[in-house]
Amino acid sequence: VTDDTDALQQALDRTNDQKEPAEFYHRRVVYFPAGKYRITKRLTLISSHGTLLIGCGRDTVLIWDGDEDGTMMVSNGVTYSRYEGITWDGRGKAAVGMEHASRIYYETSIRYHDCAFLNLKRHGLLIGLHQGIATAETWFDNCLFRNCGAGVSLLTWNDYDNAFDRCQFEDCGIGVNSDKGNFYIRGCHFARSKTVDVQQLSPAHASSVRLCTSQGSHRFFQTGVGAHQSMKIQDCCVDGWTAADGAMLLGRRGPTTVFDCVFTHPPNDAPPVRLANPAVGN
């Protein structure tokens, strides 16, 4: 019931290393006891090194009750940071759960562990749309993305080396949406993605998807026609996709290597792996 926005922002402001002496490192840890925190305005983390936000997993929930299409939290120059045991719930009203939009420091070595992003209209976690300096080397471990337009979006050059381990993507439009960034996805599960589980559009570096499972999604993987770096897909199990033109749709640029994968319960007799440009032959 209570609007917790101002109290939370005051706690986050204490992590700002431009306001506090460097020796007060304990002020860079913000603990969220179990509970539901009502947010009506965007929260901002700014200019710090080594900040840790820690909650109690599914029992610590930030709930959006602000304007339609708002952003719940923004990181601006918060590097070597950790986010553990926090749930962002946009309630089908917020557009973005967490956005990295640095204009101060190059954000590197960021970890999300045991976090959840729920009911966000456009992006559960967004990197690159409004950045001035890159965010890279981000690790998502055991995180849940449910009912988001895209679970994670990597949109700009230099948003590189993003790793996903043991994550789950449920009922999203796109699970991992990579435009110009790159990624390594390992041991993750995708379910019922409306557009595609993993999308790679115009990367500048190689990516990989390994040891993943997909069930009931429209498509498992697709590239854009501008994709021009190597892609490896290994030991994945894709079940019950609904796209008539294939579980994997590959653009005209490559190379893409697919090996030791299993495709079950197709929607038709068409091949599960297809080339997207018939002008150059399939």
pLDDT the model gives residue 275:
84
Please give the residue that has the higher pLDDT: either 180 or 46: 46
Q: Are strands 189-191 and 168-170 parallel, antiparallel or unpaired?
A: parallel
- Mean pLDDT on 97-101: 96
Please give the residue that has the higher pLDDT: either 254 or 80: 80
User: The pTM is what?
Assistant: 0.93
pLDDT the model gives residue 230:
83
- Long-range contact set of residues 3-8: C-beta below 8 Å, sequence gap at least 24: 3/38, 3/39, 3/40, 3/65, 4/37, 4/38, 4/39, 5/38, 5/39, 5/40, 5/41, 5/43, 8/37, 8/39, 8/43
CA 160 to chain centre: 13
Please give the residue that has the higher pLDDT: either 182 or 9: 9
* Range picked from 12-21, 152-161, 193-202 for highest mean pLDDT: 193-202
**In the chain, what are the helix, strand and coil shares in percent, each to the nearest 5?**
5, 45, 45
Least confident range from 29-38, 128-137, 257-266: namely: 128-137
- Summarised one tens digit per residue, pLDDT across range 143-181 is 999 999 999 999 988 888 999 999 999 999 999 999 888
> What band does 282 get if pLDDT is binned at 50, 70 and 90?
very low
pLDDT the model gives residue 70:
97
281: pLDDT strictly greater than 50 = no
DSSP designation for 279? G
80: pLDDT strictly greater than 50 = yes
> What band does 19 get if pLDDT is binned at 50, 70 and 90?
low
Average pLDDT, the chain: 91
140: pLDDT strictly greater than 60 = yes
Residue 185: strand pairing partners: 164, 209
Strand ranges for 128-272 from DSSP E: 138-141, 144-154, 162-165, 168-170, 174-178, 183-186, 189-191, 196-200, 207-210, 213-215, 221-223, 231-234, 237-239, 248-250, 256-259, 262-264
- Summarised one tens digit per residue, pLDDT across range 216-261 is 999 999 987 665 678 899 999 999 999 999 999 987 666 889 999 9
The pLDDT > 70 percentage for the chain reads: 92
DSSP designation for 92? T
Rounded CA-CA distance 194/34 in Å is 32
